[in-house]
Amino acid sequence: MPVPDVIVPAEQLGRVHLVGIGGAGLSGIARLMLGRGVPVSGCDGADSATLASLRAAGAEVHLGHDAAHVQHADTLVVSTAVSEENPDYTAAVEAGRTVLPRSAALASLMPGRRVVAVAGTHGKTTTTSLLTVALQAAGADPTYAIGGDLAATGVNAAVGAGPDFVVEADESDGAFLVYDCHAAIVTNVDADHLDQWGTPEAYAAAFEEFADGLDPDGFLVCCVDDAGAAALAERQRAAGRRVVTVSARPGVSADLGPEALEGTTLWAPGAHYLADALAALAAGEALGHPRADLLRGLGAYTGTRRRMELKGEADGVRVYDSYAHHPSEIRGDLEAARALAGEGRLLVVFQPHLVSRTRIFGVAMGEELAAADEVVVLDVYLAREVADPAVTGALVAGAARARLDAARDDAGGERVRFEPDLAAAPAVVADRARPGDLVLTLGAGSVTEVGPHVLRLLEAR
């Protein structure tokens, strides 16, 4: 979907209809438009708590897709998952309505605000959330748009009274290149979405273009524990950009290290969570807020949905859910989960996301999963792609077994299971779990449904 050369402010879009309004991106845009007084309607394939919340906020929400939905709309907003055959989309095009991709719709809400974007391959949602709550604690009251619901507020976006707009800036489809930003955080640059970018070099170049577009009077925060972000920081600093570096590793040369958070208890363990908090702290200070106020917000943060989210406990087994779908993310979440598990075992249910990503990273995914005590791998969540019989969850499971075999673990074959039937997974996990264990469901797709079913089975036994 092309981005228009001129993006008008949201108040000039008329009545806006969002196709896929229940998704993480479009639901946030809908909330912000409603908060700005823009009339909003939308549709989605299935009902959800998100849709109920949007209805309560004043949106006209339909289930299913129908050309009649756009009869009174002036502007249509679509997500990347919407096909050209979608009836809402085809009707809008035939009627000559303005059609915007989500990036342009979000950009329409930015004029008049000081935009601070959070970009990076991993950790965007958590870092955006942390920066939001830190600024709130400092009295800044920012507008925010996050790729997940804040546990404290139950929503992923809200209009604030302050001048700042904190936005999660997605690189998967180039959306972050559309925004006019004052400043940014880049958590890491670790090649992903190569179906969009083609090569790791092109992926890294997109982040360079993103940083080049920042306000000359703004700043860039980079975590130098990641080689890609460190290289970006070095190049941008050499070009005259104000750059603030952070590191979660003691002794690493950076402007802000782990000692800056001394005395502050974070919501979850793990080096990558520590790095996210440091990046949020650095950005908050660069915006002019006192460290003490920002630290109070970071310490009060209670998490974001689907980011190491505790779903519950039954029969002595805790169940967490997280969004990790890249090898680096898997490694980080397993590190955090292992710390949370303590003396208990770690059982992981993983669902690969996208055929293209699994084709490229499937072996690395499996090798990282081998760090768990028990692994159940589901089949690939297809999202916007078609199935490939040569690229399934069996590829990931096989790599996990191979890693265990290489470590001469005789129980490797029993510790890893490929389960292509999502509906069968909860029983498989519940049968393996015992008191003291921690179950972690991982992936960007429907694997999030597994945890509640596991809890019900554990409660019943």
DSSP state letters, 366-390: HHHHTTSSEEEE-PPB-TTS--BTT
- State both tokens at 106: 């979000």
Say yes or no: 430 and 325 in one domain.
yes
- State both tokens at 388: 């490939």
Say yes or no: 322 and 388 in one domain.
yes
Per-residue pLDDT of the chain in tens (461 residues, 90 and over written 9): 788 889 999 999 999 999 999 988 999 999 999 999 999 999 998 888 899 999 999 999 999 999 999 999 999 999 877 888 899 999 999 999 999 999 999 999 999 999 999 999 989 999 999 999 999 999 999 999 999 999 888 899 999 999 999 999 988 888 899 999 999 999 999 878 777 788 999 999 999 999 999 999 999 999 999 999 999 999 999 999 999 999 999 989 999 999 999 999 998 888 889 999 999 999 999 999 999 999 999 999 998 888 889 999 999 999 999 988 889 889 989 999 999 999 999 999 999 999 999 999 999 999 999 999 999 999 999 877 889 999 999 999 999 999 988 776 555 568 999 999 999 999 999 999 999 999 999 998 899 999 999 999 999 98
Last residue of one domain, picked from the residues 300, 323, 339: 300
Q: Would you say residue 264 lies in a domain?
A: yes
Which residue, among 106, 14, 17, 12, has the nearest Cα to 60 in the 3D structure?
Answer: 17
One-letter amino acid for residue 393 of the chain: G
Q: Would you say residue 4 lies in a domain?
A: no
List, as residue ranges, the binding site for ATP: 120-126
Q: Would you say residue 407 lies in a domain?
A: yes
- State both tokens at 381: 């969540």
pLDDT digits (tens, 9 = 90+) for 81-112: 788 889 999 999 999 999 999 999 999 999 99
Contacts of 203 (CB under 8 A, 6+ apart): 171, 189, 191, 192, 193, 194, 197
Last residue of one domain, picked from the residues 282, 300, 318: 300
CATH code for the domain in which residue 169 is found: 3.40.1190.10
Give the burial class of 386: count Cβ atoms within 10 A of its Cβ; 0-12 exposed, 13-18 middle, 19 or more buried.
exposed
pLDDT for residue 174: 87
Say yes or no: 169 and 242 in one domain.
yes
pLDDT for residue 45: 87
The region that residue 453 occupies, defined by phi over 0 for left and psi between -120 and 50 for alpha, beta otherwise, is alpha
Say yes or no: 239 and 266 in one domain.
yes
Say yes or no: 152 and 269 in one domain.
yes
Say yes or no: 322 and 441 in one domain.
yes
Cα distance between residue 157 and residue 164, in whole Å: 13
CATH code for the domain in which residue 388 is found: 3.90.190.20
Say yes or no: 223 and 295 in one domain.
yes
Give the burial class of 431: count Cβ atoms within 10 A of its Cβ; 0-12 exposed, 13-18 middle, 19 or more buried.
exposed
What's the length of the chain?
A: 461
Walk across the sheet containing 16-19 and list its strands: 60-63, 40-44, 16-19, 75-78, 98-101
Write out the DSSP string of 427-445. Answer: HHHHHH--TT-EEEEE-SS
Cα distance between residue 432 and residue 426, in whole Å: 10
372 neighbors 347 (Cβ within 8 angstroms): yes
CATH code for the domain in which residue 87 is found: 3.40.50.720
pLDDT digits (tens, 9 = 90+) for 409-437: 555 568 999 999 999 999 999 999 999 99
Walk across the sheet containing 243-246 and list its strands: 157-158, 143-145, 164-168, 114-119, 183-186, 220-223, 243-246
Domain, as residue range, for 367: 309-460
Q: Would you say residue 3 lies in a domain?
A: no
Cα distance between residue 270 and residue 258, in whole Å: 12
Say yes or no: 125 and 80 in one domain.
no
Q: Would you say residue 406 lies in a domain?
A: yes
Q: At what angle do helices 450-460 and 425-432 cross, to 10 degrees?
A: 50
Q: Would you say residue 363 lies in a domain?
A: yes
pLDDT digits (tens, 9 = 90+) for 173-208: 888 999 999 999 999 998 787 777 889 999 999 999
pLDDT for residue 459: 96
Say yes or no: 89 and 153 in one domain.
no
Q: Would you say residue 2 lies in a domain?
A: no
Q: Would you say residue 143 lies in a domain?
A: yes
Cα distance between residue 154 and residue 303, in whole Å: 11
Say yes or no: 150 and 181 in one domain.
yes
Last residue of one domain, picked from the residues 106, 125, 144: 106
Which residue, among 180, 442, 125, has the nearest Cα to 311 in the 3D structure?
Answer: 442
Which residue, among 53, 314, 273, 7, has the nearest Cα to 158 in the 3D structure?
Answer: 53
Domain tally, the chain: 3
| Residue owning tokens 């859910």 | 321
| Residue owning tokens 């129980």 | 411
Say yes or no: 173 and 289 in one domain.
yes
pLDDT for residue 409: 59
Contacts of 53 (CB under 8 A, 6+ apart): 154, 155
List, as residue ranges, the binding site: 120-126
94 neighbors 68 (Cβ within 8 angstroms): no
Say yes or no: 127 and 258 in one domain.
yes
